[in-house]
Chain A
């Protein structure tokens, strides 16, 4: 069912939802940019509907709510372990179509690939998603080509409409709450993008032989292996475990996991020294082919959702979409080499 809300009506709904949920959306962090006097749009908790930034892409994705950058798994003493407590409330996450497609990728890894991830699952079960309709694409978006521009598995959708908001609701539990605060009921179809400025073409003949291309060498020098592309990516799920101890009592500590990046030094380090993929170009190859080739080999659909955040954030102006589009000639190159 669709609804129209005034701002006050919407805030009344949010207020009620906050009894049960922590509500996260893209918000403006004043002074939160890397450069002085710059802001940043990132995910954070909101208290009212006007906190949500509707007209900009968030720099970092919703991912950090489901998979915190740094998460305590359990506390330990020398011979005891105690599980970290679960969040007291569920969460509502406002996110765009591409990001909701990314949730499927997170679920794939954290709920299905091998064991279920306990920490992910206990939060995920209590998360509702509200789709932010996209009237227009942003710079570097290529969701249409990745077929992530539409989705209907949301709990609700929202968009600004004049001074108010329109919502489409799929969540039965919210139906009466929404109808009691709306101005009127109407048919609502969330907007979606049908054309983006950036296009990508993943060549059909792509194979693991693409790894042998010279194309990747260009990134040896261009890339600075900072890992921003991984940290902003809504589908990157890697982490590293760390044991820390509280220094005032060396016997007590915690094990945590922190987000890891396949671009950053140390990712492939093995005990006793040694590491794989020392060159940045090879790390780029590993990342790019995972996003648009080998993930699909395993799970049947591409990992990349085309949000373009990696392009937005790269300080060296390395474009992921541009790199994808070079794969066509890579297929030719490695094909010629094999012939």
Chain B
């Protein structure tokens, strides 16, 4: 049997512990899909796999127990899913293109969750369209609010929904609900002053708890969708660490631009000898210095006025 394992990986299959057998990895950007695709997955698993499906930690499906020789048939069966999920594909009918950049993960977002400040899946799909296919090892995750259910701080790029609370003083009856909830569930950015509420904008993390708690709509959500953008968290062997705040109150366009700029930066600075062409971005930044990264990342980026850039940034984490 002659199999090019390098090409196989780029086609979203993997080498498994069982010789001659592979597994098909089906990415679902933003983790939300129409149920009509589930029978197709079932069909692949039952026809070419071992009849089981694994739900991956990055919101995909992995169908194990597929013989290498059946990969072309599997790719054909995957085609309606790839098209339905609007995956960028190089050659139609030939399966997923490239697997370096990982699936863009999202919490359930505001299609369902009351806390979410935006449609996480929608934004994830927008990022998918902008960055795929790509061989570089990038991990991106989106979460609807600062609860961070999607654990975005463990990703190279973490996107956390925020809402800039708007206060209509004439609708406030000083019931205290927002002050209490902000103190107990969030950061305590609200304070009663003169029977009305004062918000400490520096402290506010834009979680929207005040809006949810307000019984009179004195607090409502800001019109613009804004985000907290975190950088270079990672899991893994050498130095696992949480992503640090990069920009608070940043907009969608800037986030996408910065991610694309980072691809250019990594392209220029990645260790050519990196095993499998994979190197966590953070280690590259350690090499070049943060300022160099910043120069690349912010190229042609027009941040909204409200945005706050945190610099310099220091990471912690466990070092082995």
Contacts and interface: CB of A to CB of B under 8 A. Distances in A.
Interface in B185-234: 194-196, 208, 211-218, 220-221, 223
Contact of B214 (A34, A240, A256, A258): A34
- Interface size class, chain A: 20 to 34
Nearest to A228: B215
Nearest to A256: B195
A7 B44 CA distance: 58
B97 interface: no
A36 interface: yes
A237 B220 CA distance: 24
A9 interface: no
Nearest to A72: B170
A70 interface: yes
B213 A247 contact: no
Interface stretch (A119-127, A170-178, A260-268, A274-282): A260-268
Q: 9 smallest A-B Cβ distances: which pairs?
A: A258-B173, A228-B215, A242-B195, A244-B194, A36-B110, A259-B173, A226-B215, A227-B215, A36-B117
A115 interface: no
19 contacts: A29-B220, A31-B223, A32-B217, A34-B214, A34-B217, A36-B118, A36-B221, A68-B170, A70-B169, A227-B175, A231-B173, A244-B196, A259-B173, A261-B215, A264-B175, A264-B176, A264-B215, A265-B176, A266-B176
Given A36-B221, A231-B215, A247 B173 contact: no
Nearest to B169: A70
A36 B208 contact: yes
Given A231-B215, A260-B173, A265-B176, A35 B195 contact: no
B118 A258 contact: no
B217 A42 contact: yes
Given A31-B221, A60-B217, A245-B194, A37 B110 contact: yes
Contacts of A265: 176
A151 interface: no
B251 interface: no
Contact of A40 (B119, B196, B217): B217
A260 B170 CA distance: 14
Contacts of A245: 194
B122 to A, nearest CB: 10
A69 interface: yes
B171 A31 contact: no
Contacts of A264: 175-177, 215
A172 B208 CA distance: 49
With most chain B CB atoms within 10 A of its CB, the pick from A69, A226, A244, A256 is A69
B118 A37 contact: yes
B89 interface: no
A70 B172 contact: yes
Interface in A67-104: 68-70
Given A69-B173, A258-B195, A226 B213 contact: yes
Contacts of B163: 36
A40 B221 CA distance: 12
B174 interface: yes
B299 to A, nearest CB: 31
Contact of A69 (B118, B119, B171, B223): B171
Contacts of A42: 217
B220 A31 contact: yes
B116 A69 contact: no
B114 interface: yes
Nearest to A261: B175
Nearest to A30: B223
Interface string B160-173: 01010000011111
A35 B212 CA distance: 7
A259 B170 CA distance: 11
Contacts of A259: 173, 216
A262 B161 CA distance: 35
Contacts of B216: 60, 69, 231, 259
Contacts of B194: 244-245, 247
Given A35-B212, A259-B216, A264-B176, 13 more contacts: A31-B221, A34-B217, A35-B114, A68-B170, A69-B216, A226-B213, A227-B215, A231-B216, A244-B194, A244-B195, A245-B194, A258-B174, A266-B176
A258 B175 CA distance: 10
A267 to B, nearest CB: 10
B112 to A, nearest CB: 10
Contacts of A40: 217
A258 B221 CA distance: 23
A36 B116 contact: yes
A100 B196 CA distance: 31
Contact of A35 (B110, B172, B213, B214): B110
A60 B218 CA distance: 12
A243 B217 CA distance: 22
Nearest to A239: B173
A170 to B, nearest CB: 32
Given A31-B223, A37-B119, A70-B169, A242 B217 contact: no
Contacts of B214: 34
A251 B114 CA distance: 44
Nearest to A260: B173
